[in-house]
Amino acid sequence: MIRNASLLLATTLLVSAATAGAQTAPLPLVPMPQSVTRGAGSFTVSDGAHVGTPAGDAGAAAAARLLAAHVKTERGLTLAPVQGDAPIRFVRDAGVTGEEAYRLDVDGRGIRIAASGDRGLLYGAMTLAQLISPDRAFGKPTAVPALAIADAPRFAWRGLMIDPARHFQPIEFLYGIVDQMAAVKLNTLHLHLTDDQGWRFEVKRYPKLTEIGAWRTPPSSGGAPGPRVGGFYTQAQLRGLVAYAAARGVAIVPEIDLPGHAQALVAAYPEHGVLGDRPAVSHDWGVNPYLLNPQAKSVRFIEDILDELMAVFPGTYIHLGGDEAVKDQWERSPQVQAQMRGLGLKTEMQMQSWLIDQFGAYLAAKGRRLIGWDEILEGGLPASASVMSWRGEKGAVDAANQGHDVVLSPAPTLYFDSLQSDRGDEPPGRLSIQTLADVYKYEPMPAGIAPDKARHVLGAQANSWSEYLVTPYQVQHVIFPRAAALAEISWSPKAARDFTGFLDRLQPQIARWRRSGMEVADSAFAVGYTIQGSAADALRANRVTVALATQAGAGTIRYTLDGSVPTARAHAYAAPLSLTPGATIRAAAFGPDGAALATARDFATSRAALMTRDASQFTACPRGALGLRVPLSSEATANAPAFNANIFDTCTAYPAAPLSLSDGFTVEVARLPRHYGLAHDITKVRQHYNVTPYGELVLTAGCPVTDGPKRPVLATFPLPDPASAPNRFRFTGTLPAGLADGDICMQFTSPTSDPFYAVERMQLTERRK
Ligand code: ACM
């Protein structure tokens, strides 16, 4: 009797503790809703639960089906949409104002989602799907806590740009992106459909745009060029995508980039180029010289293309690029100069504005609106045009203050091809590191916009340019999880911003994305290692001290030294580890529920490892910065190797090398295609004097400084003939005794007409005592 009573008491306490926990545990929601009021109790959603929608309400039925689809994939529960009333139900409520606004109420009797608009119902469904999928109990009933959510977006444009022009992705890939955008309430998918390197939109009237313009021959770093690569979307495929996206609240904004970034167009139809020549579809990343001709027949040609584009993409906005159009071809064309005189235009910038205005007016006459990159402001902006600001925020501030609508998409913060960490396992990208926290901190309402012009800020957009993103995995890796930060800064109230809370709410979203088949980068949560003091001192003392940290600072770091994978029971890291060189540290951060936040990463402390550095640990030589992390070839599908490089001067340094302890070295070198459109920056490429036909790798102790003392040459290796040598090779050499510790500078002197070179790894060998 007494035993039973105490058991009963214990059970009651447990249940109430669990209930209290559920009421205060952070809700697994990203983006954070506008307002959440927690109640008492919960409603349990089980397999087979009915989801009711009003009879004849197609929008509500669609929202119910999407709810069921997400919950099935992300939580393993099968929900049953039905017409009529049910404990989980969608209702129309004209009192919930705003097309994207909704209310979601949960109590012990059921769940009710109310909205006036289809998209409101959809977003209510996405919020409920998140509430149903907070944990790892896949397929088991879930208790949704009682609450009342009233939600609506802060900004109307919550965008993501995909660039299939640089590296084509199959249409199925875009479907997956649309699904996962909708899951976090992003609503604008900008497709960069044309560029110098490829034309991806089928135009029935001008078939050569894709017959010729959709294919390019990859650059070579010596030897035979690779097979052609490319592809395009048919209009039928894109119509299917547009309908699919619309059903998920996502509008697609197509971009035809002009008058620059037009080389694929000119390759297909040279009569619409400027100087009459026919270029190949470009394989050079960056800025290329080919421009659209502003002549009347080319304006009509583009209008024909726009007719087909508008027939496929029914949304308001058509993006016509306008970025990075170097005007040299127009400057050098007597015909374009005569046209400018005839129009009374003084500068090529004004010519660009005139041209954009032609298209702006054409689109406006069809009820559409032109949007372009901020360069379209430069020669005066057509009244109807909207601006996407990428060169910082100035374009947005100027345009909004002039009364134009703007979207904030500034590089480098919202350029998702910017690497998200300095980790050595990061795939290629731009080396300006923009962390999850950097994106989360970004405020889309820039300072300097007059209060009465704030309404012109439509919202924010992140761009995943794809020069260095080849595979679906790589594109997803840059998008997820930073898309969650983008969603929150563009949907949630500014006052709700809270990075620590976001990190907790993000974990279930990461789990949902992974269950949906997405690659999600764990860069922000992976353990990184820093040696305290210099490697040389550690080697001398035979004692190495290593600090462990994650970029986001989330969770508890746990580690092992015996080679086993760390679990939630492994040693918790408290202070830098002081070790005799030899062991490999394996560590991961764990959340409060004991789940690892990232795959464990290793750090070898052997003496050989302490004397080795790889590309991600090199620094730039004095002249320049390592701006890119590039793959072995433009089409390489592997994430590694990747080389941190300065394409203007191929020089890297092994910093603070333990030269005093070394008697030799191995340098692993890769030859990479030089395929960059540098335009006027071409004069910044530093040519060295090569003293053998293909140039040399020159190693010096310390890096040369202008007008400084000459640095001692440690070794010189003539480079092999690019036409016949493999593209990865190694050099070994010896080092004299008596060197001081310090930087080793690795300078290539190959002609700038040749491929360029990067060091993948340098290993010093230890001098025997
Ligand atoms: C751009 O990055 N050229 C818009």
Domain boundaries, the chain: 35-151, 157-515, 527-606, 612-766
Give the pLDDT score at 12: 33
CATH number given to 527-606: 2.60.40
Lowest-confidence segment of 142-156, 160-174, 508-522, 703-717 by average pLDDT: 703-717
- For residue 312, what are its two tokens? 């496929």
Band (23; pLDDT cuts 50, 70, 90): low
380 pLDDT higher than 90: no
Give the pLDDT score at 255: 99
Residue nearest to atom 3 of ligand 1 (CA): 323
Band (555; pLDDT cuts 50, 70, 90): very high
Give the pLDDT score at 134: 72
Four-residue CA torsion sign, 64, 67, 73, 79: negative
19 pLDDT higher than 60: no
Q: Strand ranges (DSSP E) for 157-217?
A: 157-162, 188-192, 194-195, 198-199, 215-216
542 pLDDT higher than 70: yes
Q: Is 57 a catalytic residue?
A: no
Average pLDDT over residues 420-438: 97
Going from the C-alpha of 627 to that of each of 412, 433, 644, the distances in angstroms are 12, 10, 7
Ligand 1 centroid vs 119 CA: distance in angstroms? Answer: 31
Nearest atom of ligand 1 to the alpha carbon of 390: 4
In the chain, the percentage of residues whose pLDDT exceeds 70 is 96
The topology under which CATH files domain 157-515 is TIM Barrel (3.20.20)
- At how many degrees (to 10) do helices 118-132 and 58-75 cross? 20
Ligand 1 centroid vs 388 CA: distance in angstroms? Answer: 10
Q: Considering 167, 261, 319, 404, which one is annotated as catalytic?
A: 261
Band (625; pLDDT cuts 50, 70, 90): confident
Best mutation site among 390, 413, 430 for ligand 1 pocket (most ligand atoms within 8 Å of CB): 390
Q: Is 417 a catalytic residue?
A: no
On whether the CB atoms of residues 359 and 409 are closer than 8 A, the answer is no
Ligand 1 centroid vs 390 CA: distance in angstroms? Answer: 6
Average pLDDT over residues 562-572: 98
- Dist CA 699 CA 736 (whole Å): 13
Nearest atom of ligand 1 to the alpha carbon of 463: 2
Give the pLDDT score at 280: 98
Lowest-confidence segment of 26-40, 172-186, 211-225, 339-353 by average pLDDT: 211-225
Q: Is the distance from the beta carbon of residue 522 to the nearest atom of ligand 1 less than 6 Å?
A: no
- Dist CA 343 CA 302 (whole Å): 20
pTM of the model: 0.96
Give the pLDDT score at 391: 97
Average pLDDT over residues 341-356: 96
Average pLDDT over residues 154-170: 98
Nearest atom of ligand 1 to the alpha carbon of 465: 2
Q: What is the pLDDT of residues 588-610, one digit of tens each?
A: 999 998 999 999 999 999 999 99
Cis status of the peptide bond prior to 314, with omega within 30 of 0: no
Q: Is the distance from the beta carbon of residue 373 to the nearest atom of ligand 1 less than 6 Å?
A: yes
612's enclosing H/E stretch is strand 612-614
Give the pLDDT score at 8: 36
- For residue 6, what are its two tokens? 């105490």
How many residues are recorded in the chain?
Answer: 769
The topology under which CATH files domain 35-151 is Chitobiase; domain 2 (3.30.379)
Ligand 1 centroid vs 37 CA: distance in angstroms? Answer: 42
Q: What is the pLDDT of residues 193-247, one digit of tens each?
A: 999 999 999 999 999 999 999 999 999 888 777 799 999 999 999 999 999 999 9
Nearest atom of ligand 1 to the alpha carbon of 323: 3
Q: Is the distance from the beta carbon of residue 74 to the nearest atom of ligand 1 less than 6 Å?
A: no
Q: Is 519 a catalytic residue?
A: no
Residue nearest to atom 2 of ligand 1 (CA): 390
Average pLDDT over residues 741-766: 96
On whether the CB atoms of residues 407 and 371 are closer than 8 A, the answer is yes
Best mutation site among 373, 374, 391, 417 for ligand 1 pocket (most ligand atoms within 8 Å of CB): 373
Q: Is the distance from the beta carbon of residue 317 to the nearest atom of ligand 1 less than 6 Å?
A: no
On whether the CB atoms of residues 154 and 491 are closer than 8 A, the answer is yes
Average pLDDT over residues 486-493: 98
Give the pLDDT score at 20: 42
The topology under which CATH files domain 612-766 is Jelly Rolls (2.60.120)
Give the pLDDT score at 708: 76
327 pLDDT higher than 90: yes
What's CA 598's distance to the chain center, in Å?
Answer: 19
- The secondary structure of residue 418, as a DSSP letter, is B
Band (710; pLDDT cuts 50, 70, 90): confident
- Name every residue whose Cβ is closer than 8 Å to that of residue 203 and which is 6 or more positions away in sequence: 209, 210, 304, 305, 308
Q: Considering 100, 151, 163, 195, which one is annotated as catalytic?
A: 195
Lowest-confidence segment of 108-112, 623-627, 646-650 by average pLDDT: 623-627
Q: Is the distance from the beta carbon of residue 324 to the nearest atom of ligand 1 less than 6 Å?
A: yes
664 pLDDT higher than 90: yes
Average pLDDT over residues 723-734: 97
Q: Is the distance from the beta carbon of residue 417 to the nearest atom of ligand 1 less than 6 Å?
A: no
